[in-house]
Amino acid sequence: MRLTSSFLSDYRAVGRPTAQLERVLAVGRAFLTVTGFVAIYLDPTEPARLREVTYAVLLAYALYSLAVLAYVHTATRLTPRHGLVLHGLDILWTSALTFVSEGPVSPFFLFFLFVVLAAAYRWGFRETAATAAITAAVFLIETAIAAAGPWSSTWFAPDGLELNRTILRVAYLLLTGVLLGYLAEQEKQSSAELAAIADATRQPRVRLGLGGSVAAVARGLVSIFDAAAAAVVVHDHETRRTLLWQLDPAPNRADPPRVRRLELDARQQAVWLFPDQGRAWHAAPTESAGTAAVRMVEPGVWPLMRGQLQVPPGLLAARPCRTVTAVNIGLAGEWEGRLYLFDIADPGSLERRLHFLEALADHVTPALTNVFLLRRLRARAGAAERARVARELHDGAIQSLFGIDMKIEAMRRQSQRAPTAIEDELADIQDLVRREVLALRELMQALRPIELDTADQLPDVLAGLVERFRRDTGISARFVSTGGPVVLHPARALEVVRIVQEALANVRKHSRARNVLVLLAGDHGTCRLVVEDDGCGFEFEGRLSRQELDERRMGPAIIKERARIADAELAVDSTPGAGARVELVLSEESHA
């Protein structure tokens, strides 16, 4: 495992403020100086060489420590450059103090450890190890100066230079520096991970909705892992809908990634949510088609487990890549999903990255679940409110209009001796009331939620809709279902129902038709819907596709929009004065 890594470097850079760091170190520096004076007071025999000079240097260092302490507590702004300068001064002061006081056997050797500890507190492994190497070099230079020449007898005991003691002190410095640097590196990396997780957890917001929240989380992960692209797939167990958000890099790297949202059928769902072997994993496709060398997180174990993974060819075809990293998310029984990162940078620290990705998923999943369930709750509340409005219209406005219609009919029968003009006026009022009753009923049908769990229910729902239209309007309406079973996603089947509702409403309002036929046919992997009447037709003659209707700005606008949502091919045949025919063709989903 690497001791240093560029992973989460942006979050490492926003760690503790420089002012906080330097204030803590200034207090530590002052405390170290005080302990130095206490040590001299308790053992006045130390230092034995250049005692006056040592006292003077130690006093100057004490004044320097107090000055730095006052400065860092009063300065309005401190930068990392201040920390670097203070670190260099600490090395110089410690070198001078140890040099004038016994050199290699100085009682102030502990000051070197403070310098190493300060490097670990400020930075990470590299800086701490470099500081340990510098202090060890200073110590060796002092030892060499002390051992050379005729003055060596004033530096060492009568026995001379103790090589073992020198080696142990150098090793002590280096080992302490490496250990403190490693611990500092891990602490700063852990702090960066916590900051990144907190940032990702803040991304899902109710106002963004599920799609916006998913895209925000994916953008954050693309930035954290420096990935080429990302994709998030979510499957709703209740509605059985599967949505895919793909994030592709923008032409300008400075711009945020582009987001595309797709709804997947059952076959595509099997491609993106194929069975895997772990919560988080990293795979590199091999030359063998459909296989990839995978390393995955095993619960409770830090080293990654190695193995082979069968990757659907459709996934690699949809997103060619050198590596793919994924983590599973979701709440059992409610929704499941998977987040993909393609071609992440610097996979050398893969263990830490995958464990971090797993931890991030643990924190992000509840936030996304809240948004997901709130969206479902709002949909249910909206459906319940529409049902309530429909009931109130039925029990209130429609019943009142029926009462008015009955009273008008009674007045017409009692007014045989009334002038013809009054009877005609009453007939017009009665006709207007009846039309408003039909309009309100259509509004009620549009407001009421349609119970359509599977496409198998579609023929029965359409048959009931057509029969209700026949009873309410008196227009001869017939529904015919032919061919095999219709295989559509429930969301697309619901759009078919809404299209038939809108087509029948147009027949009643505009066509003056006497007969209507609604045909539903499923055959050869397609579903065909036809609504045909013998009314006045549209203002054009012939057959036009949806694109041609849009270019001419003709045709039923709501039906065109719903056909686009359902991904259906739309064509309209019109013969002015003889009738119209609306035809939609939808590709059926696979049973897989």
Other CB atoms within 10 Å distance of the CB of residue 398: 17
Band (233; pLDDT cuts 50, 70, 90): very high
Beta bridge partner(s), residue 293: 284, 308
Q: Are 274 and 326 in contact (CB under 8 A)?
A: no
Confidence band, pLDDT 50/70/90 cuts, at residue 334: confident
pLDDT at 337: 92
Radius of gyration, CA atoms only, the chain: 40
CA 531 – CA 518 distance, rounded (Å): 5
Tens-digit pLDDT profile for residues 343-377? 888 766 788 888 888 998 998 888 888 888 777 77
Residue 1's pLDDT is what? 47
Cα 26 to Cα 19, 62, 69: the distances in Å are 10, 11, 5
Which residue has tokens 């005692």?
A: 51
For residue 409, pLDDT beyond 50: yes
One-letter amino acid at 304 equals L
Residue 158 has pLDDT above 50, yes or no: no
Q: What is the pLDDT of residue 7?
A: 66
Q: 324: left (phi > 0), else alpha (psi -120 to 50), else beta? A: beta
Cα 97 to Cα 169: distance, rounded to the nearest angstrom = 17
pLDDT over 90 (residue 571): yes
Query: In this model, does residue 396 exceed pLDDT 70?
Result: no
Please state which architecture CATH assigns to domain 205-377.
2-Layer Sandwich (3.30)
**Confidence band, pLDDT 50/70/90 cuts, at residue 516:** very high
- How far is the CA of 253 from the CAs of 200, 223, 258, 324, in angstroms? 21, 11, 11, 21
Confidence of residue 557 (pLDDT cuts 50, 70, 90): confident
pLDDT classification of 479: cutoffs 50, 70, 90? very high
The label of the residue with tokens 């760690």 reads: 15
Residue 422 has pLDDT above 70, yes or no: no
- Both tokens of residue 391? 């009931």
Instruction: Report whether pLDDT(416) > 90.
Output: no
| pLDDT score at 325 | 92
Q: Looking at residue 184, what is its pLDDT?
A: 86
Domain ranges of the chain: 9-199, 205-377, 451-592
Residue 459: Cβ-neighbour burial (10 angstroms; 0-12, 13-18, 19+): middle
Q: Which helix (H) or strand (E) holds 517?
A: strand 515-523
User: pLDDT digits over 207-232, tens only?
Assistant: 777 888 888 888 888 888 888 889 99
- The SS3 call for residue 250 is coil
What is the spatial distance between Cα 369 and Cα 246, in angstroms, rounded to a whole number? 20
Categorize the per-residue pLDDT at 494 as very low, low, confident or very high, splitting at 50, 70 and 90.
confident
Bigger pLDDT: 494 vs 5: 494
Digit-coded pLDDT (tens) for 263-282: 888 888 889 999 887 889 99
481 forms beta bridges with: 520
Average pLDDT value for residue range 509-533: 89
Q: Per residue in 442-467, pLDDT tens?
A: 666 655 656 666 777 888 889 988 99
Distance between CA atoms of residues 470 and 478, nearest Å: 8
pLDDT at 580: 93
CA 21/CA 117 separation, integer angstroms: 12
Q: What percent of the chain has pLDDT over 70?
A: 77
d(CA 204, CA 215): 9
Region 331-336 average pLDDT: 87
Q: How far apart are CA 272 and CA 264, in angstroms?
A: 9
Answer for the pair 345, 226: CB distance below 8 angstroms, yes or no.
yes
* β-sheet bridge partners, residue 517: 478, 532
Instruction: Work out the widest C-alpha separation in the chain, in whole angstroms.
Output: 147
Instruction: Answer for the pair 540, 557: CB distance below 8 angstroms, yes or no.
Output: no
The rounded mean pLDDT for the chain is 81
For the segment 292-300, the average pLDDT, to the nearest whole number, is: 86
Q: Tell me how far apart the alpha carbons of residues 302 and 318 are, in angstroms, rounded to a whole number.
A: 32
Tokens 């071609």 identify what position? 343
Angstrom distance (rounded) from CA 328 to CA 365: 9
Distances from the Cα of 146 to the Cα of 136, 152, 154, 157, 174, angstroms = 15, 5, 9, 12, 21
Reply yes or no: is the peptide bond before residue 459 cis, omega within 30 of 0: no
* Interacting residues of 251 by C-beta distance below 8 A, sequence separation 6+: none
Tokens of 95: 């070198």
* CB proximity list for 429: less than 8 A, separation 6 or greater: 408
Distances (CA, A) of 416 to 409, 422, 434: 12, 10, 22
- Mean local confidence (pLDDT), 420-433: 68
Q: For 451-592, CATH number?
A: 3.30.565.10
Confidence of residue 591 (pLDDT cuts 50, 70, 90): very low
Residues 286, 306 contacting (CB under 8 angstroms)? no
Q: What is the mean pLDDT of residues 467-474?
A: 86
Q: How close are the terminal C-alpha atoms of the chain, in Å?
A: 43
Flag whether pLDDT at 159 surpasses 50.
Answer: no
Give the predicted TM-score (pTM) of the model: 0.58
Q: What is the mean pLDDT of residues 240-251?
A: 83
